[in-house]
Amino acid sequence: MPRLETLAIHAGRGIDPASGAVAPSPVLSTTFARGADGAYPHGHIYARASHPGRDALERCLAALEQGAAACAFPSGSAASMAVFQALDPGDHVLAPDDMYHGTRTQLRELLQRWGLQHGSVDTTDLDAVRAALQPQTRLVWLETPSNPLLKVSDIAAIAELAHAAGALCAVDNTFATPVLQQPLDLGADLAMHSTTKYLGGHSDLLGGAVITRQEDAFFARVRAFQVQAGAVPAPFDCWLLQRSIATLPYRVRAQAANAQRLAEFLAAHECVAAVHYPGLPTHPGHALAARQMRGAGAMLSFRLREGRERALAVAARVQLFTRATSLGGVESLIEHRASVEGPYTTTPDDLLRVSVGLEHCDDLIEDLRQALV
């Protein structure tokens, strides 16, 4: 089996047999010609059902996560939504107490009305997870490391608990990426991504993905919500995403190395009350992250000793970091997270979340040093 760096470049890609082109081009056609016998000799009928660029991207995503198949979506939110919609009314979803607020909003505001029940639990506590499972639990949703507190949950142990309870286990692997963590290999059934983030990597496309360990009836329903409900990414976005994935391993590792240094700098700073970064030995999930990840990632968050006003002041003073939401791009971003998460936020309001980019780390540290005075 080729290694990840090789898969990121070659999986789903090849020389174009018609032209000999080495670099793939997006095929923008929405419809595909039938033969005189009525068959579809190239395997595509209509671009919502399938098109060459999405097929190539999905083969690449499946290979990166060591899955059997993948579905590409127009956003991470469309991807999580398809997984939830593949469940039945009356089913129960167990979700983490710290997770991307938009995913929680889907469960709370969109899916409850459709009869899907959900509960939340601290997924870093296995006893709490065991106790929170219900007879109707059909899906345990994990996000590890979590957004924005970087909590680390034990994928292998929770997948086992989920399976014993007759539930699937899905992992939002957006923060870690397949470079640093492979949930399917650890026993999860589904890996999900907002490909808007590291896989896209340049803050210029929206996308999502669900990758499955096996092509089963549940995944067929996820696929149906992609194709029949029309949650499909455009050919140009598929092409752009696959172009970015080629450099994913190198971007992620370099960004994670920057994040480690930045976290160490922040942890030693007198104005900082806490740093949430699994690469620090003081992080409660450090040992687990070292076991189930191949690096602690490039996201971190930190809290200021003097509270919300201080956090806002630091965010206001940075020069190199951009004050913006989202993450995973080559440019470093900083965000006062509680103020974008809406009325149900549980994020401390003295917390800043940082997406560490590919700039020189000394420049990033200097910028934070001058902002923290």
> Which residues are catalytic, by number?
48, 100, 172, 197
- The residue among 249, 283, 261 whose CA lies nearest residue 332 is 261
Which residue minimizes CB distance to ligand PLP?
76
User: Which of these ranges, 73-81, 238-246, 330-338, 365-373, lies near ligand PLP under the rule CB under 6 A?
Assistant: 73-81
Closest CB to ligand PLP among residues 210, 371: 210
| Token pair for 145 | 């490391």
Query: How far is it, in rounded angstroms, from Cα 278 to Cα 287?
Result: 8
Please answer whether residues 26 and 56 qualify as being in contact, where contact means their C-beta atoms are separated by less than 8 angstroms.
no
Does residue number 120 form part of the binding site for ligand PLP (CB under 6 A)? no
- The residue among 237, 231, 211 whose CA lies nearest residue 70 is 211
User: Which of these ranges, 5-13, 98-106, 246-254, 350-358, lies near ligand PLP under the rule CB under 6 A?
Assistant: 98-106
Q: Where are the beta strands (DSSP E) in the chain?
A: 69-73, 92-96, 117-121, 137-143, 168-172, 190-194, 208-212, 272-276, 299-304, 322-323, 333-336, 351-355
Site string for ligand PLP, 192-231 (x = CB under 6 A): --x-x---------x-x-----------------------
User: Which of these ranges, 17-25, 43-51, 167-175, 265-273, lies near ligand PLP under the rule CB under 6 A?
Assistant: 167-175
Please answer whether residues 331 and 357 qualify as being in contact, where contact means their C-beta atoms are separated by less than 8 angstroms.
yes
- Please pick, from the candidates 120, 137, 153, 174, the single residue that binds ligand PLP as defined by CB under 6 A: 174
Please answer whether residues 121 and 107 qualify as being in contact, where contact means their C-beta atoms are separated by less than 8 angstroms.
no
- Smallest gap from Cβ 13 to ligand PLP, in A, equals 23
Query: How far is it, in rounded angstroms, from Cα 339 to Cα 126?
Result: 31
Angle at 50 between CA 47 and CA 55, to 5 degrees: 125
Closest CB to ligand PLP among residues 52, 208: 208
Closest CB to ligand PLP among residues 120, 147: 147
Does residue number 102 form part of the binding site for ligand PLP (CB under 6 A)? yes
Angle at 123 between CA 175 and CA 69, to 5 degrees: 50
Closest CB to ligand PLP among residues 44, 197: 197
Please answer whether residues 241 and 199 qualify as being in contact, where contact means their C-beta atoms are separated by less than 8 angstroms.
yes
Site string for ligand PLP, 252-291 (x = CB under 6 A): ----------------------------------------
- Smallest gap from Cβ 362 to ligand PLP, in A, equals 28
User: Which of these ranges, 12-20, 28-36, 95-103, 342-350, lies near ligand PLP under the rule CB under 6 A?
Assistant: 95-103
Site string for ligand PLP, 17-46 (x = CB under 6 A): ------------------------------
Handedness of CA 12, 17, 20, 26 (dihedral sign): negative
Does residue number 355 form part of the binding site for ligand PLP (CB under 6 A)? no
- DSSP-assigned letters across all residues of 203-246: S----EEEEESS--HHHHHHHHHHHTTT----HHHHHHHHHHHT
Residue count of the chain: 373
- Please pick, from the candidates 77, 117, 123, 355, the single residue that binds ligand PLP as defined by CB under 6 A: 77
Does residue number 143 form part of the binding site for ligand PLP (CB under 6 A)? yes
- Smallest gap from Cβ 67 to ligand PLP, in A, equals 18
- Letter for the amino acid at 309? E
- Please pick, from the candidates 120, 124, 147, 292, the single residue that binds ligand PLP as defined by CB under 6 A: 147
Does residue number 117 form part of the binding site for ligand PLP (CB under 6 A)? no
The residues binding ligand PLP (CB under 6 A) are: 75-77, 100, 102-103, 143, 147, 172, 174-175, 194, 196, 206, 208, 326
